[in-house]
């Protein structure tokens, strides 16, 4: 069995503030790891540092045995960021965004292959958005946008998925859909690292939980029970079905929320 | 007499088509990257390049390309640092470019700020056969680069972090789009002038996105609007005897106003259908 992610004494400092204070974390192939902790504990920073997207100020991190700068097999990684960036307002359809997940498998200057198209169609189908493929992503609800992001990662057919708060601000229907998608990935033996505020319907899938507090790892092992999660220091309860306020009002956003 | 009877107008029309195609194509990526004013910044810096051309007796277009590209690289490097003072640093560069251009032209024997006028506000009818070859070459290069790197640039401009997690050469692509933008600015400089250049990179895109749903059609339609604005503006400026650069930009803005109205109407009727 090989190791997907391997961080040793990982430190991250942003604007002089220590966000991660020396975290050791190894994730083996096929593991399903949840990164838990209160707001501001460094969960997102940890997974972004695991990928090399957030540079370390100390320590090392390896992707399949190589530091991010020398890693070449990026198609093995599927990263799902916290939210969909809608860019500067230039529209993009669901299919365009999902198809961009193939980028690590495509050669520069080559046309889109039939394998690309099949993978995109399969990914759209898996998250139940085939019928919305031609719609602009800005017209979707928060939960549907989250599914687009997951479909983008699925389209790349990676070995390891890294999901940053996939359940935050997502309606219960999309949460259920996410749980089903994840369990299908787990069955196929994929590696999953996900950041969560609370596990909800994902709980039965998790093989291991890492709990952070103030940039330090305070627990690594069996997932805490639901009661335990709620009892974590600094925990504040967030209703998953409560839509997060959008930073800017997207066209059709309010309407899509009502429909969802 | 029609505009096709005059050599200079034939050259001007070809140049107008080139500019109308390239500026919005690059602009689509720039707007998506939230750098709508990048073209303005590069335009200011390019003025120093134009003035350097006068001072050294070389072609102002050549020096403008070099200085604009260096300026664009500087802007991208400041931006990539991600410091909060980034926009202030950019502003400093813009003013430096403008002031530098004015100062250098003052120091050039036999030239005055009046020499800069055609570069500031455009003089598309002064394009000769040689200029046309340079403009055509640069325009083809820009469109070819966009075709080859388009897929990667889409990911970069959508979400830089995802681009990094996909193993894309983020720093290289950022510099590439900045340099492509600077070449486009210099190409469009002859048509609408450095002060209005950004309008052709941004306004047709803003117009197009009122009516479209996908990135691909937004780009294609913005190129159509770009050509309509440059060719339409040039033609009407000839018959009305008014400045071409300003006419092109005003026409593009009028197109935006119309598209805004149509877009609102279409969206409202769509919402009406779905709630009914």
Of the pLDDT bands very low, low, confident and very high (cuts 50, 70, 90), residue A245 is very low
- Total domains in chain B come to 1
Span B86-91, mean pLDDT? 72
Determine what percent of chain B is predicted with pLDDT higher than 90: 58
Cα nearest neighbour of B164 on chain A: A53
Span B67-88, mean pLDDT? 79
Residues 6+ away with beta carbon under 8 Å from B265: none
Span B239-264, mean pLDDT? 93
Mark yes or no for CB contact A90/B32 under 8 Å.
yes
Determine what percent of chain B is predicted with pLDDT higher than 70: 95
Span A190-217, mean pLDDT? 88
Least reliable range by pLDDT among A93-97, A158-162, A230-234, B29-33: A230-234
Here the tokens at position A159 are 């070995």
Question: What residues of B are in contact with residue A98 (Cβ under 8 Å)?
Answer: none
Q: Smallest Cβ distance to B154: which of A77, A100, A104?
A: A100
Residue spans per domain, chain A: 3-85+159-259
> Is B252 inside a domain boundary?
yes
Mark yes or no for CB contact A88/B33 under 8 Å.
yes
Of the pLDDT bands very low, low, confident and very high (cuts 50, 70, 90), residue A209 is very high
pLDDT per residue over A131-177, tens digit each?
999 999 999 988 889 999 999 999 999 999 999 988 877 778 788 88
Q: Residue A8: what pLDDT?
A: 92
A120-134, B68-82, B258-272: which is most confident: A120-134
> Is B156 inside a domain boundary?
yes
Average pLDDT, chain A: 84
For chain A, list residues whose CB is within 8 angstroms of any CB belonging to chain B.
Answer: 48, 51-53, 71-72, 74-75, 77, 79, 81, 85, 87-93, 95-97, 100, 103-104, 106, 108-109, 134-136, 152, 156, 162, 251-252, 255
Q: Residue A246: what pLDDT?
A: 40
Of the pLDDT bands very low, low, confident and very high (cuts 50, 70, 90), residue A251 is very low
Least reliable range by pLDDT among A200-214, A245-259, B183-197, B249-263: A245-259
Of the pLDDT bands very low, low, confident and very high (cuts 50, 70, 90), residue B197 is confident
Average pLDDT, chain B: 89
Q: Residue A155: what pLDDT?
A: 95
Whether residue B4 is predicted with pLDDT greater than 70 in this model: the reply is yes
Whether residue B208 is predicted with pLDDT greater than 90 in this model: the reply is yes
Question: What residues of A are in contact with residue B159 (Cβ under 8 Å)?
Answer: 81, 85, 87
Question: What residues of B are in contact with residue A52 (Cβ under 8 Å)?
Answer: 164-165
Q: Is the dihedral of CA A93, B146, B181, B172 positive or negative?
A: positive
Domain A3-85+159-259 matching CATH 3.40.50.300: the answer reads: yes
Mark yes or no for CB contact A74/B28 under 8 Å.
no
Q: Residue B273: what pLDDT?
A: 56
CA of B127 vs chain A CAs: smallest distance (Å): 33
Whether residue B259 is predicted with pLDDT greater than 50 in this model: the reply is yes
Span A121-128, mean pLDDT? 93
CA of A84 vs chain B CAs: smallest distance (Å): 8
Whether residue A240 is predicted with pLDDT greater than 80 in this model: the reply is no
> Is B114 inside a domain boundary?
yes
> Is B270 inside a domain boundary?
no
Name which residue leads in pLDDT, B145 or A244: B145
CB atoms within 10 A of CB B267: 14
Whether residue A222 is predicted with pLDDT greater than 90 in this model: the reply is no
Mark yes or no for CB contact A85/B164 under 8 Å.
no
Interface of B with A in 24-63 (CB under 8 A): 28, 31-36
Mark yes or no for CB contact B214/A71 under 8 Å.
no
Interface membership of B194 toward A (CB under 8 Å): no
Residues 6+ away with beta carbon under 8 Å from A73: A64
pLDDT per residue over A54-96, tens digit each?
999 999 999 999 999 999 999 999 999 988 887 677 999 999 9
Mark yes or no for CB contact A77/B159 under 8 Å.
no
For residue B255, the domain's CATH number is 1.10.3470.10
Question: What residues of B are in contact with residue A152 (Cβ under 8 Å)?
Answer: 162
Which residue of B158, B202, B218 to mutate against A (max A Cβ within 10 Å)? B158
Q: Residue B24: what pLDDT?
A: 96
Of the pLDDT bands very low, low, confident and very high (cuts 50, 70, 90), residue A243 is very low
> Is B55 inside a domain boundary?
yes
pLDDT per residue over A18-28, tens digit each?
999 989 999 99
Q: Residue B227: what pLDDT?
A: 96
> Is B272 inside a domain boundary?
no
Whether residue A247 is predicted with pLDDT greater than 70 in this model: the reply is no
Q: Residue B67: what pLDDT?
A: 94
pLDDT per residue over B215-234, tens digit each?
999 999 999 999 999 999 99
Q: Residue B272: what pLDDT?
A: 60
pLDDT per residue over B38-66, tens digit each?
888 899 999 999 999 999 988 888 899 99
Whether residue A259 is predicted with pLDDT greater than 80 in this model: the reply is no
Phi and psi, residue B255, nearest 5°: -60, -40
Tell me the residue range of the domain where B180 lies.
3-265
Span A201-222, mean pLDDT? 88
Span B142-162, mean pLDDT? 93
Of the pLDDT bands very low, low, confident and very high (cuts 50, 70, 90), residue B248 is very high
| Helix (H) or strand (E) segment spanning residue A39 | none
């Amino acid at each position: 069995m090989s190791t997907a992610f391997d961080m040793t004494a990982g430190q991250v400092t942003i604007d002089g503030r220590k966000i991660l204070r020396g975290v050791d974390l190894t994730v083996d192939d096929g593991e399903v790891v949840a990164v838990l902790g209160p707001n501001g504990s460094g969960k997102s920073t940890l997974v972004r540092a695991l990928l090399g997207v957030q540079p370390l100020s100390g320590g090392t991190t390896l992707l399949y045995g190589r530091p991010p700068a020398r890693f070449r097999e990026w198609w093995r990684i599927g990263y799902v960021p916290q939210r969909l960036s809608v860019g500067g307002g230039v529209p993009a359809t669901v299919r365009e965004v999902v198809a961009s997940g193939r980028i690590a498998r495509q050669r520069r200057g080559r046309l889109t292959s039939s394998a690309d198209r099949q993978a995109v169609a399969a990914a759209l189908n898996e998250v139940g958005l085939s019928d919305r493929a031609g719609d602009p992503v800005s017209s979707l609800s928060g939960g549907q946008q989250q599914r687009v992001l997951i479909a983008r990662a699925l389209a790349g057919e990676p070995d390891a998925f890294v999901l940053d708060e996939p359940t935050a601000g997502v309606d219960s229907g999309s949460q259920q859909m996410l749980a089903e998608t994840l369990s299908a990935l787990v069955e196929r033996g994929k590696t999953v690292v996900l950041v969560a505020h609370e596990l909800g319907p994902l709980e039965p899938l998790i093989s291991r939980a890492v709990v952070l507090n103030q940039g330090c790892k305070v627990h690594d092992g069996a997932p805490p029970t639901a009661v335990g999660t709620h009892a974590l220091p600094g925990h504040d309860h967030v209703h998953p079905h409560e839509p997060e306020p959008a930073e800017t009002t997207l066209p059709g956003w309010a309407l899509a929320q009502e429909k969802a | 007499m029609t505009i096709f009877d005059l050599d200079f107008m034939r050259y001007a029309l070809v140049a107008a088509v080139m500019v109308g195609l390239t500026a919005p194509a690059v602009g689509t990526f720039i707007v998506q990257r939230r750098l709508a004013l990048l073209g303005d910044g590069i335009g200011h810096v390019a003025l120093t390049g134009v003035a350097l051309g006068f001072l050294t007796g070389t072609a102002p277009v050549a020096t403008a390309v070099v200085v604009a590209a260096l300026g664009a690289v500087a802007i991208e490097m400041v931006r990539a640092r991600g410091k909060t003072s980034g926009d202030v640093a950019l502003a400093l560069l813009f003013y430096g470019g403008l002031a530098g251009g004015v100062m250098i032209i003052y120091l050039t024997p036999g030239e005055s700020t009046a020499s800069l006028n055609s570069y500031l506000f455009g003089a598309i009818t002064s394009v000769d056969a040689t200029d046309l070859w340079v403009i055509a070459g640069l325009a083809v290069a820009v469109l070819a680069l966009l075709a080859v790197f388009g897929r990667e640039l889409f990911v970069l401009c959508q979400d830089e972090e995802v681009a990094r997690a996909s193993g894309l050469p983020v720093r290289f692509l950022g510099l590439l789009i900045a340099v492509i933008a600077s070449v486009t600015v210099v190409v469009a400089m002859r048509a609408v002038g450095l002060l209005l250049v950004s309008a052709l990179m941004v306004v047709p895109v803003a117009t197009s996105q009122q009516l479209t749903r996908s990135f691909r059609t937004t780009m294609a339609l913005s190129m159509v609007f770009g050509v309509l604005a440059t060719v339409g503006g040039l033609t009407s400026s000839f018959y009305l005897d008014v400045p071409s650069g300003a006419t092109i930009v005003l026409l593009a803005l009028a197109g935006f106003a119309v598209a805004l109205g149509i877009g609102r109407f279409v969206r409202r009727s769509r919402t009406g259908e779905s709630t009914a």
